[in-house]
Amino acid sequence: MWRNTQVGWGVISIALHWLSASTIVGLFALGWWMTGLGYYDTWYNLGPWVHRSVGIVLFMATLARLVWRLTQPTPQGHGSRLEVLMAHLGHITLYVLLLFVMTTGYLISTADGGGISVFGWFEVPALVHGLPQQALIAGDLHWYSAWALMLLAVGHSLAALKHHLIDRHDTLLRMLKPTSR
């Protein structure tokens, strides 16, 4: 039930998938919204603080997710060999983009040498700072890679719906219901 098998996902993988997906969409919306706020808005500083804190927690969850993913069996893909290959490459790209978005977010935040306070619980030190135009370049990369991540996630969701509605595979259902074996 907790672990994955050759035919289905366990509770841990399912929980991490859906919690991450909703957090990513939330961070995208918050990031977009907060960068349009005026200086005197209450959320002008609070928004980025929440965005960075949630982003760091997501980063830690993603590292745990990758460790779990690499030490567990993975359910076999459905469809033609090409579809299975495309799905595999798509999933790897989602992980790579996710790590890239979070890294560039970190680089924007640490550009001036200050660490990142995570909900005031602990501080992540600024390991890289003072690179030429660090905040500006990391900011651009953050914005474009966040968009790429969202677009790929939309394609990924459509593929999941195609498996479910057209091919009648259990791909989506097994990401909702933990394997019983």
List residues bridging with 116 in a β-sheet: 124
CA-closest candidate to residue 74, choices 19, 138, 3: 3
Q: Dig out the tokens for 166 from the structure.
A: 């057209």
Q: Site map for ligand HEM, 73-112, x if CB under 6 A? A: -xx-x---------x---x--xx--x--xx--xx-xx---
Span of 16-24, 37-45, 125-133 interacting with ligand HEM by CB under 6 A: 16-24
Dihedral angle of Cα 172, 173, 176, 181, to the nearest 10 degrees: -120
User: Phi/psi of residue 117, each to 5°?
Assistant: -85, 125
The size of the interface with ligand HEM (CB under 6 A), counted in residues, is 44
Structure tokens that stand for 13 in this block: 């993988």
Per CB under 6 A, residues contacting ligand HEM are: 17, 21, 24-25, 27-28, 31-32, 35, 48, 51-52, 55-56, 58-59, 69, 74-75, 77, 87, 91, 94-95, 98, 101-102, 105-106, 108-109, 116, 139, 142-143, 146, 153, 156-157, 160-161, 171-172, 175
